[in-house]
Amino acid sequence: MKKQKPEQQKPAVSAQIEGAGEVSEKNIVETLQENYLPYAMSVIVSRALPEIDGFKPSHRKLLYTMYKMGLLTGARTKSANIVGQTMRLNPHGDAAIYETMVRLARGNEALLHPFVDSKGNFGKAYSRDMAYAAARYTEAKLEPVCAELFSEIERDTVDFTPNYDATMNEPVLLPVKFPSILVNSNIGIAVSMASNICPFNLSEVCETAIALMKDPEHDIISTLKAPDFPGGGLIIYDEEEMGGIYATGRGSVKVRSRYRFDKSENCVEITEIPPTTTVEAIIDKIVEHVKAGKIKEINDTRDETDLSGLKLTLDLKRGVNPDELMRKLFRLTPLQDVFSCNFNLLIGGNPRVMGVGEILSEWVAFRGECVRRRVLFDMNKRKEKLHLLVGLRKILLDIDKAVRIVRETDEESEVVPNLMIGFGIDEAQADYVAEIRLRHINREYILKRTAEIEELRKAVAEAEEILSSDRKIKAVIISDLKEISAKYGKPRRSELIFRREQDDEAAVQIAEAVPDYAVNVFITKEGYFKKITPLSLRMGGEHKLKEGDAIIARCDACNRDELLFFTDRGTAYKSRLSDFEDVKAGVMGDYIPSKLDFEEGERLVFTAVTSDYSETIVSFFKNGKCAKVPLSSFETKTKRKKLANSLNTDSPVVAMFKITDDREFLLRSEAGKVMIFSSALVLPKSARNTRGVQVMRLTKTALGSASLYGDKVIENKEKYVTKTIPSAGAAGNVQLKIDACEN
């Protein structure tokens, strides 16, 4: 068939575009470029990601509106009024704008240094169900710290741009005097990217910024120890992990709740929780584990949060060690959680993931430009004033002459030109002189005004010196940072735990809390599971089974061992033997699909019991392939219950085995061919869902069965043994001996 030329080829994917009475095809790539990409860029650049001043556009528009309303120094006003005014800059619904203001408010407790002074119910960041009141009921104004955002905005420090309908201007950035990008947390989800910036202590951030300006090689971690969360909590400090966050902008911080034990009431009171969870989520998780029997030390759980702050109370049973219980809860519930850092922000309109040092360097460059523009603006104002006062001083030589020129001029329009000629001054100076009131045309007034000339000249000279020196601009920034740190700095809220062993110690103590003893495990064909102690097994009678059911596997294990249940959907479900109750032989046991929430129609194909994941899983498939995967590939650091893609599903599973060392296997095809080979011929693969390698060559047939080969099982073993794979095997009528304990 003749190949089409590129220009004749039709697009692989096309979309039907319906017009007025006609339908035409259009390449889907072009459609996405024209319609989706502009939306994606708008979300990234104009909505979801913060910029170097520490604000998203929605935050900036709201705060600037409040500033223009005079709410920096005035009294509070209704939130509904603020929301309505903000719509002039932000074309969103009132609910979205009000929700933005809620998070910036002191009452919500989401920020270390709130920007909105609130009155009324603004909800709580640590509560999922505590809703904030409607905008018509609450009041707000700007916090004093906002003075550091707007004190220079009228002095040409930042660019302005027209709003969405070009009726007014708004700032592109705010001339912040401190690195607010690191002081308050900022979370945003854009298209194909996100941002998650944790908050740091204001004093530590200012100190670090100053140190970096003085020495670019400064060790950041020496002055900026760790994040500081509004809700406090205990940070489990890992210097290596923290250094990675500071260097790359990515990593995680482990935060633990703070609690105290009330001995008189025999209860634990939790007063600080991680920033990534809520009180309701913690209670739900505790209740879930209590119902499942994993937590048996708690009588009751109550949320006693009130005006004094967060408090979650756990009533304990008699004799319970509160510290051991909390270590258990830290592992099982969000009372200990991880804050994932992703320092992604916009620099010059482009998203960049940066470390702390790079962010501070960008902020210093941005702040340096603001200072430069402010100094230039002030200098030009002083130059204008100086120029006018120089002209005023010339009148001092002959005040009577100035009065006479004005009095003898016939037309008003000629006053300024005549003054210019009479005193040799320019138009601006002459206009300034002409506007002086009659009462001010005296020597005393003129002398007082002209006395400012030398001060203005000195100020202009200082400004020119600052503009010509980067060192002096940095000195101005450093002076501002020291002043802000002294004025607004607060002690750390999040305490650091400097011992890495805390996690290992907690894990060991929780493991010791699970009793360890010998058990016998039984699996039936229908998917029932029994865990029976040896004593109960010896004293018990026959196994109770469902009609038509039979035991297909059994093994000896310990109560602390872990379980992996493999299904025909390629999924592995993880559990622990301690999660199952000890039963007697006379009961049917736990139905695994219900216990582990299998999907509808999902079938159990193999169960592996392990204590240290040192074994190997060998799987055989209908297509004659064999996969050998180390059991360590299924080990996870977190307590995951479901591992997808744990078994290849291209071909049905015939048999699976757990081995410690390489063993010989006997395979038989549905056509009657038999082969024996060693698993050493198959190389292990770390990928859990590997397809494996062909071990039995099949033609118009399939693998019928696979079993572990034992000595003296069949005669003429040499006839069937192969040392190379794949092999077609040899014809033979072999009776297979399957050991249920091995399966």
Alpha-carbon distances of 154 from 45, 149, 472, 481, rounded to whole Å: 25, 11, 23, 20
Nearest to 187 by CA among 247, 111, 130: 111
Q: What is the DSSP string of 50-113?
A: -BTTS--HHHHHHHHHHHHTTTTTS--EEHHHHHHHHTTT--S-HHHHHHHHHHHBGGGT-SSS
Type and span of the H or E element at 508: helix 501-513
Task: Decide if 137 is catalytic.
Answer: yes
Calpha distance 171→152 (Å, rounded): 12
Residue where the block lists tokens 């003429």? 716
One-letter-per-residue 3-state SS of 110-130: CCCCCCEEEECCCCCCCCCCC
Pairing between β-strand 673-678 and β-strand 730-731 as defined by DSSP bridges: antiparallel
Which residues is 34 bridged to in the sheet?
none
Contact 650, 694 (CB under 8 A): no
Contact 127, 116 (CB under 8 A): no
Say which amino acid occupies 572: A
Residue from 137, 164, 259, 517 carrying the catalytic annotation = 137
**Helical spans, DSSP H, in 258-315:** 279-292
Tally Cβ neighbours within 10 Å of residue 336. 23
Instruction: Tell me the backbone φ, ψ of residue 658, rounded to 5 degrees.
Output: -110, 120
Read off the DSSP letter of residue 323: H
Per DSSP, the three-state class of 707 is strand
Joined tokens for residue 435: 């506007």
Calpha distance 45→51 (Å, rounded): 9
Contact 175, 149 (CB under 8 A): yes
Contact 419, 402 (CB under 8 A): yes
Which residues are known catalytic residues? Answer: 137
